[in-house]
Structure formats: C-alpha cells, structure tokens
C-alpha cells in the first residue's frame, strides 16, 4: 500500500533498537525507506541493524542519547550530509520507571522528562530546521494513552508523555505553513519489553486485559494486548499522503482502554 510512496525516502527513527521503534525501523525499511535508526542501547541497535542489512535493507545505526541536544544536532547533520534529506521522523525513544510520587527521586523525574519530553524537542528541533528549508516533511511522535488518563505509579511517565503530546501539537501549528505535518500516536498496553517490565507473575497480560480496580485502571474492551504492528500501522498512516490533510492530531491505539478519553 505504501511502498511506491515511501520508496527511496529517508526516515529517522528514535528508540529504533527494539519494541515499537524497532518495528517501525523494520517496516519502513521493507517499504524501501532508507532508515537512520537511533537508540541509546548501542549493542541492541547494532544487532537489529545487522539483521535487517542481512535482508538487503537500508538501515544505518546511530547510537545516541536523545536528551543530548549537541549529539542530536551532529547526528542529524551527518544523516542529512551522508544519507540524504530526512522527510520522515518518528519519535519513539522513551523510558519508564514506575513508582509512587512520594518515592520518585529527582533523578528519576528528570531522566524521564529528559528522554520522553526534551528528547522529542531536541530531535524535532534539529530535523525540522532541514524540513522547513525544503517545505516538506511528516513527523510522528509516539505518545501514550497515559497522557490523558491518570495512572497510579506512572506520574512521571504520564506527565512527560503529556508534555511531548502538547509540544508536538504546538510544533505542528508552527510548521503547518511549511507543509510539514506533526501528529501523535498514543499506544496503550503493547506487547513490548516496556510493557513486560510492569507485569508480575505469568498472568500479566490477562491482568491488564481484565483491568486492575485497586489502581483505577479499567481493562481493554477489545480483550487483547496490542502488537507493535498495530501501532506501526497508525504511524504509517500519519507518515503517508493518506493523511495529507491531518496535522496536530492524536490517535489513541489502545483497544478502548481509556474509553475514548
């Protein structure tokens, strides 16, 4: 469906070593996109790059911390100079360290915002400067359904994702005059390492699907955990011309877990 449109374009994907980000890298590459995959986890990223290159796909790994603005500026300049003009940007990099507010350390709070919020700012600011000059581009930020519904033990994560969501909308408003669209995909519980880290015992998925009343978390009406591919499908839609009149939109992909909030 998207192969003809995407073939030969250059995309930058953060959090590209695993989970949703890893799935985005793989899917775009299979559609003919030249992908610059960015992740703090150098070893995992390199293995992902090698596996995809063994399939003949154009993927280039860049180990970097999205919270480091100077490193991101250098990385983006390198991609633009050595790989090509970035037309597609997907912000997936994120961290999750659950805990009650009373026990949340300064370091935990600051690191969560540094990656989940400031990281989105750093990458978007650097990439969008190049997009503005060309008056062309599509940006998707992976947010979270937790950005719109309170979660016990997820205050830092939820707040940082809410900040990233509103930042992306503001960016979309500023860049609309340059024909650059900025949208958000907000996943719910998805079958990734981040989700597994929240589970206790062997019934983690079932507990999430059924709901946890003691922490005011409803279940998933569609009765299933999302697959990374479900999130990727929404991201592809926003990146593509299928959504060429949509910007500043937030699409929740959570099986109805937040009841449309």
Render pLDDT for 33-76 as a digit per residue (tens, 0 to 9): 999 999 999 999 999 999 999 999 999 999 999 999 999 999 99
**Active site annotation includes 157:** yes
Helices (H), the chain: 3-6, 19-30, 42-53, 69-82, 106-113, 119-134, 155-175, 193-196, 204-210, 228-239
Task: Check residue 192 and give its pLDDT.
Answer: 80
Render pLDDT for 122-137 as a digit per residue (tens, 0 to 9): 999 999 999 999 999 9
Q: How confident is the model at residue 221 (pLDDT cuts 50, 70, 90)?
A: very high
Pairing state of beta strands 34-39 and 10-14? parallel
**Mean pLDDT over all residues of the chain?**
94
Domain regions of the chain by residue span? 3-190+227-253
Q: Which of 2, 60, 157, 178 is catalytic?
A: 157
Global pTM value: 0.94
For the domain with range 3-190+227-253, which CATH number is right: 2.40.128.20, 3.40.50.170, 3.40.50.720, 3.40.50.300? 3.40.50.720
Q: Please name which of 19, 209, 26, 25 lies closest in space to residue 95, comparing C-alpha atoms.
A: 19
Q: What percent of the chain has pLDDT over 90?
A: 86
């Amino acid at each position: 469906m998207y192969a003809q449109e995407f073939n030969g374009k250059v995309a930058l994907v953060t959090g590209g070593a695993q989970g949703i980000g890893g799935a985005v890298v793989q899917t775009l590459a299979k559609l003919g996109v030249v992908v610059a995959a960015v992740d703090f986890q150098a070893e995992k990223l390199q293995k992902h790059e090698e596996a995809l290159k063994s399939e003949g796909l154009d993927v280039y790994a860049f180990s970097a911390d999205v919270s480091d603005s100077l490193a991101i500026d250098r990385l983006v300049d390198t991609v633009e100079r050595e790989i090509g003009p970035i037309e597609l940007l997907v912000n997936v990099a994120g961290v999750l360290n659950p805990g009650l507010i009373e026990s949340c350390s300064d370091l935990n709070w600051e690191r969560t915002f540094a990656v989940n919020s400031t990281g989105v700012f750093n990458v978007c600011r650097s990439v969008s400067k190049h997009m503005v000059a060309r008056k062309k581009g599509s940006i998707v930020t992976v947010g979270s359904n937790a950005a719109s519904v309170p979660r016990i033990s997820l205050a830092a994560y939820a707040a940082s994702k809410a900040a990233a969501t509103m930042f992306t909308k503001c960016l979309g408003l500023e860049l609309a005059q340059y024909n650059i669209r900025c949208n958000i995909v907000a996943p719910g519980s998805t079958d990734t390492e981040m989700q597994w880290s929240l589970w206790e015992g062997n019934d983690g998925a079932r507990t999430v699907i059924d709901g946890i009343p003691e922490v005011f978390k409803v279940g998933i009406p569609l009765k299933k955990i999302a697959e990374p591919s479900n999130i990727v499908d929404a991201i592809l839609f926003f990146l593509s011309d299928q959504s060429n009149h949509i910007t500043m939109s937030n699409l929740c992909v959570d099986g109805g877990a937040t009841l449309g909030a």
